[in-house]
Amino acid sequence: MAASSPSPVEIIPPPSSNGSSRHSAEGNGSPSKARRRATAQSMAAGQRDISVSEFFAKNRHLLGFDNPRKALLTTVKEAVDNALDACEEAGILPEIWVHIQRVGQDRYKVGVQDNGPGIVKKQIPLIFGKLLYGSKFHRMRMSRGQQGIGISAAGMHGLLTTGKPVKIISKVSKREPAHYYEIQIDTKRNVPEILNGRGEGVEVPPNHEGQKAIQKHGIEWIELDHGTRVTIELEARYQRGRGSVDEYLEQTAIANPHVAIHYTDPDDNSRDYQRVTDQLPPEPKEIKPHPYGVELGRLVTMLNDAKEPTIAQFLIGSFSRVSPSIARKLCETIKITTRANPKKIGRHEADLLYQAIQKTKIPAPSTDCIAPIGEELILKGLRQVVPGEFYAAATRPPAVYRGNPFQIEVGLCWGGVSPAQRVSREGLSEMLEESDARTLRQFLITTFQGLGADAADKILAAANVGIRVSPGRLKAAEIDHLHEALQNVNVSEGQSMNVFRYANRVPLQFQAGACAITQTVMQTNWRAYGLSQSRGSLPSGPITLMIHMASVWVPFTNESKEAVACYPEIQKELRLALQAVGRKLGMFLRRRLRVRHEGERRNLFLRYIGEVATAVSRINQADRKKLYDQLMEVAKKRTAEADVELDDRGKPIEEDAVDFGEHVIIVSHEEQKTAETAKNGTA
Amino acid sequence: MAKQPSINTNDTKTLKRLRELASNVVEAAAKKRDPHVDIPTRSLSNVKYNKTRRFIEMGSNTNRRQLFNLSQAKSYMQTMLVASGATQLIEQGKTTSIRGLYYLLKHTIEGTKEETFADQGECDPVIEDCEVLLNSLREELHLYAQKRGEMVGEIVIADSGDEIDCARMGSGGYGIPSIVEPSVIEFRKCNAKFILHVEKDTVWQRFNEDKFWRKHKCILTHGSGQPPRGVRRMLHRLHNELKLPVYCLLDNDPWGYYIYSVIKQGSINLAYESQRMAIPDAKFLGLRSKDFKECQLSDSVKINLNDTDRKRAKQIMGYPWFAHKKEWQKEIKLLLDNGFKLEVEALISKDISYVTEQYTPARLKAKDWLD
Ligand SMILES: Nc1ncnc2c1ncn2[C@@H]1O[C@H](COP(=O)(O)OP(=O)(O)OP(=O)(O)O)[C@@H](O)[C@H]1O
Ligand SMILES: [Mg+2]
């Protein structure tokens, strides 16, 4: 939110007549007594419910609304994540429509529709109008959403910045009509209010009539048997490049090959991501928490809420992998009877129990609660979105950190053209216009994935435009030059690896540096696999890595869910997965180098044959042309043999003997070309 | 080199070898085989010391060079280029320097940016390869090296028919050409009784200025360090045809020893030419390791040995033609013990003409030399 826009606290009247927030209460304190500490009484006056709007205002950075650009992304993201979760939970192959429209200066309307199960009428207000309401927080099951804040926070941001309610259409079955609701959160009481139909919402009549009614409300609805469409209007900024909506959808398509996405951006460009599999991910099972993963505070709460009459039953019933004998052992360790009432366990005993748990050997949790993407689909997904020459994937077996099962998988794509090379002339000029980068150099680096400072300098030098020119000021001819330079300058050397991070199939687009995934990638020695890399940084080259952590509980570094915390168990699995694809890449690059050498070698022979033929015919007047042709034939024969010549260690190399193992795709140049033209054709 | 060499029997022989080389390529190509040449190896591993003939001979090892081998393709092509260049020269009855040949053959390979030869350093070894490959001498390929080395003294020769009195060469001396075969150089009249070969020009000047050769009835030569083939061949002919003993006055360091070794036994690189170059009877007059003491030289003329010097000295000690010679072992050991080397010019520190008036005459008289 821009600093110039009014603070939300100012729009919404304060919740109680006398007080304002604790913060302003202090500010209003009598200046003469400024040095005096507050008394219990004065403090009591400030102690009260915190209004939702205040909570939101204070925490918007945690919730992903810290700036207008990110607000747009977060809104789309919350809606799409929910849509995918809902579809998958209902066993429906997801199809998602995303439409972003510009409705004014700095104002956008985001509509996200899914073909999911829909939401029953009575739940709608709670979901979209109440913070911390959701179905996913209390269970141990892999899903995208976790906290029950997402979509209502987005709705609130829209409300606070534009005053417009969240608009929802939902249809639960073919037989029932769709319902339309306009919902607004009552920020005083954290309760939702349905504004239309006298608090009941309205039915949408079928077919033509319905479409007309919907249009009147300024929204859209794609006719489906069931599904949900959420429309939020908000103050935001649309800008392509890193950390954009476009990037989020693209990355989502990679990690969710079973999803079809139809995206229309504010400039009315549309992009479709087709699904590459009709196979839904297996339904993840819900599991009880494992004792190792439960923190003391949570243990105390669980004890208090216990429904079981005895501590032993509580332990066996609330946790996974606690057998009667383990429960008995835990009780013995802390010297309480197995029949003790869990509700009566004191703080001290709880602490002892917590420690006993850590010291007792308890089997690892079952891991069938995680649904990895799988190597096959990673390869398909990557290939669908990222053009390249070589693809490899590895899914590690499940492992456990702090009692939480998790699984790491990695996909790698090497080669192909960089995003900078793929951009069209129109796309480039649009991006230049949108950019708020101060200099052209900064524009290049922040806009294009994998484009480093060196590469940017090279491009600018080739385009013959100044580094410090402001991107918006470029003349048409200069844009032409820049576009040409982007296409022609070989930046694959100066390019640094693209790392797409995912947690439970959701792209993580920010805080890369703080993330265990990025850190592990940097700590891996990529030089061993034929890439150049300076110590402790990302390797360079035309490579895209997608790394997925699937878990019932992803340990984020903070609430904004953008970086995975470093646990040694997680980093170990990451390392092993990276090494698995790294080795395959190394094999490919070595072979490629050799093939290139063969090509050079053939050329070399061809080059010298002419000289030899001339020299020989000068000495003995032999027919130069005949000799040349004959030598040429020998050269062809020889280099054909040379293809299976000796490797570095002098062992014969057979082409097929290069065994990449499973889960690798190598794309021939012809295939690459046809894929490219196909893509350009649909674009 | 005014004389126009006609196609003589020698040239016919060389041309025949060149054409054989070429027809091997044609034959291989016709049979769809890899063309290749087997080039006698020019390295220490492929030389033998012939005890009876007392010089280094080339062994029978060869290196195969193939057109269709990544690391050899270019040098194969270059070998053929040199062969065709030599053919041209012979057919046209012309000779050229190795630098001239380099320019004759250097051009950009069609359809590339690559040069046939990057520099002369790339061409010279290929010429030597062709010599051994064709078993022909450089002159027989109508090539000569840049001449370095001069001669002065009691002898009259004819060079391409022009009579040259080496006693009347002023301060400059007669520049020894690179081809000194009887077809070019004839010996007319000789009053000299021996040859004094010195390492370099500066020392040679000293001897010439003092007219050492007149006083001692000799021929005075130098070879600007390692003597080129022309000089070595000239020494060889003078020694063998006119029966003149050869005395060498070289620096007291491993390089000086090496030059002596090349004059006496032949060089490793050109072992195939030993027979017509090596002078097994050549004597090493000095400078000797003992000279610092014997001549009471001052400390300031010492030059410390470095690691390469020491390594080279030990290597030379191990040469089969030095290994069994006690005197030589003592000499080199003393050099190492001294820890310093001496240039001939060091003698000048005693007196400007000490080397010509005292040192050399005394050593000759006393027959104080190494063999
Ligand atoms: N498109 C949808 N179709 C069906 N149900 C939905 C849809 N969107 C949301 N829901 C339901 O509403 C609940 C609340 O969603 P919300 O995004 O607020 O929280 P969440 O997804 O549980 O967690 P998070 O805060 O991490 O996003 C979800 O748990 C889900 O049950
Ligand atoms: Mg959500």
How far is the C-alpha of A229 from the C-alpha of A112, rounded, in Å?
5
- Fold classification of B149-249 is Dna Topoisomerase Vi A Subunit; Chain: A, domain 2 (3.40.1360)
pLDDT of residue A650: 41
> By the 8 A CB rule, do A114 and A226 touch?
no
Mean pLDDT by 10 residues, chain B (371 residues): 54 92 93 90 81 85 86 89 95 90 90 84 90 87 85 93 92 89 90 94 92 94 90 94 95 93 86 86 92 90 90 89 90 93 90 92 93 89
Nearest alpha carbon, ligand 1 atom 21: A145
Single out the residue of B240, B224, B241, B223 nearest to residue B232, CA to CA: B223
Residues of chain A with CATH 1.10.8.50: 291-359, 419-488
CB contact under 8 A, B32 and A633: yes
CB contact under 8 A, B114 and A607: yes
Q: Dihedral angle at the C-alpha atoms of A231, A235, A239, A243, nearest 10 degrees?
A: -80
- CATH of region B255-371: 3.40.1360.10
Query: Residue B22: which of A609, A620, A630 has the nearest Cβ?
Result: A620
Nearest alpha carbon, ligand 1 atom 10: A82
CA-nearest residue of chain A to B35? Answer: A631
> By the 8 A CB rule, do A127 and A120 touch?
no
- For this structure, is B174 an active site residue? no
Single out the residue of A54, A184, A64, A55 nearest to residue A129, CA to CA: A184
Residue A74 CA, distance from chain mean position: 11
> By the 8 A CB rule, do A609 and B73 touch?
no
Q: Hey, is the C-beta of B113 within 8 angstroms of any chain A C-beta?
A: no
Q: Hey, is the C-beta of B90 within 8 angstroms of any chain A C-beta?
A: no
- Fold classification of A291-359 is Helicase, Ruva Protein; domain 3 (1.10.8)
- A48-80 per-residue burial string, b: 16 or more CB within 10 A, e: under 16: eeebbbbbbbebbeebbbbebbbbbbbbbbbbb
How far is the C-alpha of B34 from the C-alpha of B38, rounded, in Å?
13
How far is the C-alpha of A600 from the C-alpha of A286, rounded, in Å?
58
CA-nearest residue of chain B to A631? Answer: B29
Is B149-249 the same fold as B9-34+69-144?
no
Contacts of A426 (CB under 8 A, 6+ apart): none
Query: Residue A608: which of B26, B74, B83 has the nearest Cβ?
Result: B74
CB contact under 8 A, B84 and A637: no
- C-alpha pair distances (Å), B47 with each of A262, A657, B42, B58, B59: 80, 44, 8, 5, 5
Chain A residues with at least one Cβ partner in B under 8 Å: 597, 601, 604-605, 607-612, 614-616, 618-620, 622, 627, 630-631, 633-635, 637-639, 642
Q: Hey, is the C-beta of B70 within 8 angstroms of any chain A C-beta?
A: yes
Residues from chain B that touch A647, judged by Cβ atoms under 8 A, are none
pLDDT in tens, B5-49: 445 677 889 999 999 999 999 999 999 888 999 998 887 778 888
pLDDT of residue A33: 45
Whole-angstrom distance between the N-terminal and C-terminal Cα of chain B?
Answer: 36
pLDDT in tens, A589-607: 888 777 777 666 677 777 7
Q: What residue type is assigned to position A467 of the chain?
A: I
CA-nearest residue of chain B to A610? Answer: B110
Contacts of B211 (CB under 8 A, 6+ apart): none
How far is the C-alpha of B135 from the C-alpha of B118, rounded, in Å?
26
CB contact under 8 A, A605 and B67: yes
| Span from the CA of A146 to the centroid of ligand 2 (angstroms) | 7
The sign of the torsion formed by the CA atoms of B152, B157, B160, B162 equals: positive
How do B340-341 and A404-414 pair as beta strands?
unpaired
| Span from the CA of A145 to the centroid of ligand 2 (angstroms) | 4
| Span from the CA of A78 to the centroid of ligand 2 (angstroms) | 5
How far is the C-alpha of A154 from the C-alpha of A71, rounded, in Å?
8
Ligand 1 atom nearest to CA at A145: 26
User: What is the DSSP code (8-state) at residue A50?
Assistant: P
DSSP A262-302: EEE-TTS-EEEE--S--PPPPPPPPBPPPGGG--HHHHHHH
Residues from chain A that touch B77, judged by Cβ atoms under 8 A, are 608, 611-612, 615
Tokens of A265: 């951006």
Single out the residue of A545, A553, A554, A556 nearest to residue A521, CA to CA: A545
Burial of B222 (0-12, 13-18, 19+ CB in 10 A): buried
CB contact under 8 A, B33 and A634: yes
| Span from the CA of A109 to the centroid of ligand 1 (angstroms) | 20
Ligand 1 atom nearest to CA at A136: 22
CA-nearest residue of chain B to A633? Answer: B32
| Span from the CA of A134 to the centroid of ligand 1 (angstroms) | 6
ipTM, interface predicted TM-score of the complex: 0.78
- CATH of region A419-488: 1.10.8.50
Q: Which ligand is nearest to the CA of A84?
A: 1
Tokens of A377: 């689909």
Phi/psi for A556 (5° steps) reads -80, 155
Tokens of B300: 């300031």
Residues from chain A that touch B30, judged by Cβ atoms under 8 A, are 630
The answer, yes or no, to whether the previous bond of A353 is cis (omega within 30 of 0) is: no
CB contact under 8 A, B88 and A631: no
Its CATH architecture, for the domain A58-240, is 2-Layer Sandwich (3.30)
Domain ranges of chain B: 9-34+69-144, 149-249, 255-371
Please report which helix (H) or strand (E) contains residue A147, including its range.
Answer: none
Burial of B46 (0-12, 13-18, 19+ CB in 10 A): middle
Single out the residue of B63, B114, B163, B1 nearest to residue A600, CA to CA: B114
CB contact under 8 A, B109 and A638: no
Please report which helix (H) or strand (E) contains residue A411, including its range.
Answer: strand A404-414
Residues from chain A that touch B19, judged by Cβ atoms under 8 A, are 619-620
Please report which helix (H) or strand (E) contains residue A507, including its range.
Answer: strand A506-508
| Torsional class of A106: left (φ above 0), alpha (ψ -120 to 50), beta (otherwise) | left
Nearest alpha carbon, ligand 1 atom 22: A148
How far is the C-alpha of B215 from the C-alpha of B165, rounded, in Å?
17
> By the 8 A CB rule, do B210 and B353 touch?
yes
Provide residues with CB under 6 Å of ligand 1: A 78, 82-83, 86, 114, 116, 119, 127, 134-136, 145-152, 228
How far is the C-alpha of A86 from the C-alpha of A90, rounded, in Å?
6
Nearest alpha carbon, ligand 1 atom 14: A134
Q: Hey, is the C-beta of B69 within 8 angstroms of any chain A C-beta?
A: no
Single out the residue of A256, A297, A290, A288 nearest to residue A274, CA to CA: A256
| Span from the CA of A89 to the centroid of ligand 1 (angstroms) | 11
Single out the residue of A98, A271, A232, A207 nearest to residue A152, CA to CA: A232
Long-range contacts, stretch A485-492, CB < 8 angstroms, 24+ apart: A485/A459, A485/A460, A486/A420, A486/A421, A486/A423, A486/A428, A486/A459, A487/A421, A488/A462, A489/A455, A489/A458, A489/A459, A489/A462, A491/A418, A491/A420, A491/A421, A491/A451, A491/A455, A491/A458, A491/A459, A492/A418, A492/A541, A492/A542
Burial of A464 (0-12, 13-18, 19+ CB in 10 A): exposed
> By the 8 A CB rule, do A496 and A452 touch?
yes
| Span from the CA of A561 to the centroid of ligand 2 (angstroms) | 12
pLDDT of residue A682: 40
How do B155-159 and B47-50 pair as beta strands?
unpaired
Residues from chain B that touch A604, judged by Cβ atoms under 8 A, are 70, 73-74
The CB density around residue A340, as the number of other CB atoms within 10 Å, is 17
Largest alpha-carbon pair distance within chain B? 73
For residue A621, the distance in angstroms to the closest alpha carbon of chain B comes to 9
CB contact under 8 A, A607 and B68: no
Residues from chain B that touch A614, judged by Cβ atoms under 8 A, are 84
Single out the residue of A279, A280, A261 nearest to residue A271, CA to CA: A261
Query: Residue B30: which of A605, A630, A642 has the nearest Cβ?
Result: A630
Residue in B103, B247, B272, B319 annotated catalytic: B103
How far is the C-alpha of A538 from the C-alpha of A519, rounded, in Å?
9
pLDDT of residue A663: 83
CB contact under 8 A, A620 and B111: no
Q: What residue type is assigned to position A636 of the chain?
A: K
The stretches in chain A having pLDDT less than 50 are 1-34, 641-656, 680-683
CA-nearest residue of chain B to A616? Answer: B22
Q: Does the domain made of B9-34+69-144 have the CATH classification 2.60.40.10?
A: no
